[in-house]
Amino acid sequence: MVPAGGAGTRLWPLSRSGHPKFLRDLTGGGRSLLQSTHDRLAPLAADRFVVVTGTRHRDAVAAQLPDVDDTWIIAEPSARDSMAAIGVAAAILERHDPDAVMGSFAADHVITRSEVFEAAVASAVAAARDGHLVTIGIEPTFPSSAFGYIQCGDTLEGHDGVCRVEAFVEKPSVDVAEGYLATGAYRWNAGMFVVRPTVLLDLLAEGHPEFAAALRAIAAAPETLAEAWDALPKIALDHAVAEPAADAGRVVVVPAAFGWDDVGDFDSLATLLEDDGTATTTVLGDADLVTAVDTTGLVVPAGGKMVTVVGLDDVVVVDTPDALLVTTRAHAQAVKKLVGALKDAGREDLT
């Protein structure tokens, strides 16, 4: 299952509330992030491919994924965070096949070296069949302060290369992250979970029995979803289930070293797209629309017109038909502030 949500405001103006990041082709490969996620996962899904997305994006998701049966594109009337989105899919899958194993993977991440990813998923499925809540932990390539980390503990008996999770830790400072990397025991938390739906819902029921019951009730009577939805708690799966379960020693992690990027902002996107780290201008889109002189950085000529840049390093220029962004890679996180400023100025139409 794929929770397809999140506005991706730090990728504005490419990502908009009405046309979010996961619907966008951000790699120039001709497929949106959602489509690439589908292409990567569909061969691994023996049975169902489920997407949970906002009501306003339902039609766009269906149009981008013609192979996915409409019944399995679940529309959330409002955003209730990841526990509700993943939980409702789990409840529906549980009714469909009580022995199923499900995986949950974000719609808007980029993954490379897919054979390594597939091997990790296979290990995770094996551990999930044995009743564990399994996460996949990415081998960190630098001490990022933008991601949460997973601390690996003892090896899980009978599952080569799978460890118990000591703890999930929140985004650290770079200094703390450097310490994590030095130990070799920490992995990036990419929010990937593989688990039997029944195990997930039973774990949820331990701390939030009414929440689990509500999800199972929706699965039993799907026509009640719209009415029941807004009463569901707004909480992340990490807080509702994964962290308490890890504290109880009931979560395991498959460490893996595939390429992973959450494309969180334009700095991340620039790193993802640059060929080899050499100082040039990276273009996402039609290179004939960009003329750059003495410039490094990322240029996105999505407005259909000529974009020229002279004498700027690590610049980010994103042209679209109705809005232009000019910033630097170092200020990539501040784009979020800008979107807030536009809203404050009454320009929600642009966000």
Task: List residues binding a copy of itself (CB under 8 A).
Answer: 13, 291, 293-294, 303, 305-312, 315, 317, 319, 321-328, 330-331, 334-335, 337-338, 341-342, 345, 347, 350
Smallest distance, a copy of itself to C-beta of residue 342, A: 6
Q: How far is the CB of 145 from a copy of itself (least distance, A)?
A: 18
User: C-beta of 41: minimal distance to a copy of itself in Å?
Assistant: 35
Q: Shortest distance, CB of residue 327 to a copy of itself, whole angstroms? A: 4
Min. distance of Cβ 295 from a copy of itself in angstroms?
9
Give the residue with the Cβ less far from a copy of itself, 195 or 269: 269
Q: How far is the CB of 326 from a copy of itself (least distance, A)?
A: 5
Nearest-angstrom CA–CA distance, 206 and 187: 27
User: Which residues, in sequence order, are CB contacts of 265 under 8 Å at separation 6+?
Assistant: 10, 11, 332, 333, 335
Q: Which is nearer to a copy of itself, 278 or 305 (CB)?
A: 305
Closer residue to a copy of itself (CB): 21 or 164: 21
CA-based Rg of the chain, rounded to a whole angstrom?
21
Give min distance, CB of 27 to a copy of itself, in A.
23
Q: What are the tokens at 332?
A: 């990539």
Q: Which is nearer to a copy of itself, 178 or 349 (CB)?
A: 349
Question: To the nearest whole angstrom, how small is the minimum distance from the Cβ of residue 299 to a copy of itself?
Answer: 9
The Cα 302–Cα 316 span in angstroms is 13
Whether residue 254 contacts residue 136, with contact meaning beta carbons closer than 8 Å, is answered with yes
Give the residue with the Cβ less far from a copy of itself, 126 or 315. Answer: 315
Contact between 9 and 339 (Cβ < 8 Å): yes
Residue written as tokens 């974000």? 106
How large is the angle between the packed helices 197-207 and 209-220, nearest 10 degrees?
Answer: 140
- 14: CB partners within 8 A, 6+ apart: 21, 24, 26, 300, 302, 318, 320
Q: Which is nearer to a copy of itself, 30 or 346 (CB)?
A: 346
Read off the amino acid at residue 130: D
Nearer to a copy of itself by Cβ, of 275 and 288: the residue is 288
User: Can you tell me the distance from the alpha carbon of 230 to that of 80, in angstroms, rounded to the nearest whole number?
Assistant: 8
291, containing H or E segment:
strand 290-293
To a copy of itself, the closest distance from the beta carbon of 328 in angstroms equals: 6
Q: Which is nearer to a copy of itself, 251 or 318 (CB)?
A: 318
Burial label for 32, CB within 10 Å (0-12, 13-18, 19+), is: buried
Helix residue ranges per DSSP H, 186-232: 197-207, 209-220, 225-229
Q: Cβ closer to a copy of itself: 70 or 322?
A: 322
25 φ, ψ (degrees, to nearest 5): -85, 105
Preceding omega of 13 cis (within 30 degrees of 0): yes
d(CA 8, CA 12): 7
- Its sign, for the CA torsion 178, 183, 186, 187, is positive
